[in-house]
């Protein structure tokens, strides 16, 4: 069994789309306040921990030079906390970091499906199917937060 973020899960696996995961641009609260007060240009934290955030950063930022580069999600969050710039984060992560704020609201073009996938040969295994169904229900119970619709102060 695998849980994957994708809009095109592999054809070799079968599964259910359990939720939609929204992402947007986050920065440290102090950094964003100063940025808006001074009307400065955004500094971007370059990411290479996941292909989609890396691609979205390249697509959105005006530069290939970044204030900081990270290949690990926790390091990216730390860089944002320290005011090194902005970066894409999944809303359920960014919204739960008390020192981070959204720079903008999520756009649906940055939504990803959260899939619970199994190998086709496991389809007849009642234990696997029961566990898969349990995981889908538990993930769906968090859909509001995963979709970026609920956040502290929001």
Biggest distance spanned by C-alpha atoms of the chain: 61
Do residues 147 and 20 lie in contact, with contact meaning Cβ atoms separated by under 8 Å?
yes
Condensed to tens digits (0 to 9), the pLDDT of residues 47-100 reads 776 777 777 877 877 766 777 777 778 888 999 999 998 988 999 999 999 999
Condensed to tens digits (0 to 9), the pLDDT of residues 100-117 reads 999 999 999 999 999 999
pTM score, whole prediction: 0.84
Q: Which domains does the chain have, with CATH numbers?
A: 1-22+112-154 (no CATH), 24-110 (3.40.190.10)
Q: Which of 114, 104, 115, 103 is nearest to 147 (CA)?
A: 114
């Amino acid at each position: 069994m695998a849980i994957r973020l994708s809009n095109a899960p592999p054809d070799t696996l079968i599964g259910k789309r359990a939720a939609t995961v929204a992402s947007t641009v986050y920065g440290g609260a102090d950094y964003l306040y100063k940025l808006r007060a001074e009307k400065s240009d955004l500094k971007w934290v370059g990411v290479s921990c996941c292909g989609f955030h890396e691609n979205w950063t390249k697509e959105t930022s005006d530069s290939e030079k970044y204030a900081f580069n990270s290949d690990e999600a926790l390091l990216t969050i730390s860089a944002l906390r320290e005011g090194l710039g902005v970066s894409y984060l999944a809303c359920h992560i960014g919204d739960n970091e008390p020192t981070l704020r959204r720079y903008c609201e999520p756009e649906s073009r940055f939504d990803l499906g959260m899939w619970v996938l199994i190998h086709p040969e496991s389809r007849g295994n009642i234990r696997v199917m029961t566990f898969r169904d349990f995981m889908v229900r538990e993930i769906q119970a968090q859909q509001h937060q995963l979709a970026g619709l609920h956040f502290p102060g929001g």
